[in-house]
């Protein structure tokens, strides 16, 4: 089946993450189901742009956001490109399709004070020592390295080099990168590792971050950790691990870090992906320019 072969190609050749494969599968099978119901065909390799356009219209009428519709179309585009690549099609029916317009959402990062407040609260929490030491390291590591949530949960003990203050992470498409660690985080690592040793099953796994039962943590747990602690320290609507990644990049940029260096630290494939973090710095520059330029006083 073409869809399964395509998903296998994404897994084995493109090295896409499992959650990405799951999203692609859902998007493509959703379109296939639409074709079965509307056009009485399950062979989506034979559809034309008019039929795809009908699907897009049906998604919009269901109040699905343009951003989500564009993501679904991207999945379909990739599928048709694959069919062209294996010479099943001469050209993709989506070749000339233009993405729907979406509003650019400005993500406001956590402030330095908000991060400090959370870390300070975890430093003094003594009710559950293992949990407080682990959660503090999770938040501190996300904020001081800018790594992704999925990268964090897959860190292994051997990936941490405290002697040389380096961390190895495996990013998207299995790309490996080395990230420097701040000297200040060494204390948090050692405090957590001391507590980790006391867990009953800790010797049965090579992964760095564990639950209280001694098994590997999962992505939703990381989300809950960040969301829970920042709910007390911040009034921002979005309180996710990605916001710590966003804060990492924005704060580095605001303090003069080179954009290309931030790109390497974040593991972005292109500079265009990193440039979304420049908004806050531009706002600050505009304010500084307005207040400091002598022409403004005339």
Q: CB under 8 Å to 23, separation ≥6 — which residues?
A: 71, 75
Q: Kindly calculate the radius of gyration of the chain based on its CA atoms and give it in whole angstroms.
A: 23
DSSP code for 296 = G
Q: CB under 8 Å to 207, separation ≥6 — which residues?
A: 153, 154, 155, 156, 157, 216, 217
> What CA dihedral angle connects 258, 264, 269 and 272, to 10 degrees?
-20
**DSSP per-residue codes, 130-164:** HHHHHHHHHHHHHHHH---HHHHHT-BGGGEETTT
Q: Which of 24, 82, 143, 277 is catalytic?
A: 277
Q: Which of 14, 172, 177, 238 is catalytic?
A: 172
Is residue 242 part of the annotated active site? The answer reads: yes
Is residue 196 part of the annotated active site? The answer reads: no
Give the three-class secondary structure for 169: strand
Give the three-class secondary structure for 176: strand
Is residue 277 part of the annotated active site? The answer reads: yes
Q: Which of 81, 131, 242, 279 is catalytic?
A: 242
Q: CB under 8 Å to 213, separation ≥6 — which residues?
A: 199, 200, 201
Q: Which of 133, 245, 246, 263 is catalytic?
A: 245
Is residue 268 part of the annotated active site? The answer reads: yes
Q: CB under 8 Å to 276, separation ≥6 — which residues?
A: none
Q: CB under 8 Å to 248, separation ≥6 — which residues?
A: 142, 143, 144, 145, 146
Per the structure block, which two tokens stand in for 159? 């990936």
Q: Which of 148, 239, 246, 263 is catalytic?
A: 148
Cα separation, 34 vs 30, whole angstroms = 6
Q: Return the bridge partners of 269, or none.
A: none
Annotated catalytic residues are 148, 172, 242, 245, 268, 277
């Amino acid at each position: 089946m073409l869809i399964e072969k395509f998903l296998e190609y994404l897994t084995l050749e493109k090295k896409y993450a499992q959650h990405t494969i799951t999203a692609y599968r859902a998007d493509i099978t959703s379109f296939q189901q639409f074709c079965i119901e509307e056009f009485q065909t399950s062979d989506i390799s034979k559809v034309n742009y008019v039929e795809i356009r009908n699907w897009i219209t049906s998604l919009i009428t269901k109040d699905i956001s343009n951003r989500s519709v564009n993501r679904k179309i991207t999945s379909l585009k990739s599928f048709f490109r694959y069919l062209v690549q294996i010479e099943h099609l001469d050209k993709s029916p989506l070749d000339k399709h233009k993405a729907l317009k979406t509003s650019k959402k400005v993500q406001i990062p956590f402030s330095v004070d908000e991060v400090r407040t959370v870390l300070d609260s975890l430093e003094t929490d003594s009710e559950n020592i293992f949990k407080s030491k682990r959660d503090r390291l999770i938040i501190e590591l996300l904020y001081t390295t800018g790594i992704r949530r999925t990268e964090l949960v897959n860190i292994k003990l051997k990936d941490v080099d405290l002697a040389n203050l380096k961390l190895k992470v495996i990013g998207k498409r299995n790309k490996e990168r080395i990230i420097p660690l701040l000297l200040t985080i060494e204390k948090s690592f050692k405090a957590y590792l001391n507590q980790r040793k006391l867990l009953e099953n800790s010797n049965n796994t090579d992964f760095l971050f564990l639950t209280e039962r001694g098994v590997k943590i999962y992505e939703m747990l990381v989300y809950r950790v960040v969301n829970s602690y920042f709910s007390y320290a911040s009034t921002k609507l979005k309180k996710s691990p990605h916001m710590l990644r966003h804060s990492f990049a924005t704060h580095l940029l605001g303090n003069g870090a080179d954009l290309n260096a931030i790109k390497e630290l974040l593991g972005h494939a292109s500079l265009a992906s990193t440039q979304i973090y420049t908004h806050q710095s531009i706002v600050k520059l505009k304010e500084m320019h307005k207040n400091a330029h002598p022409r403004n006083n005339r």
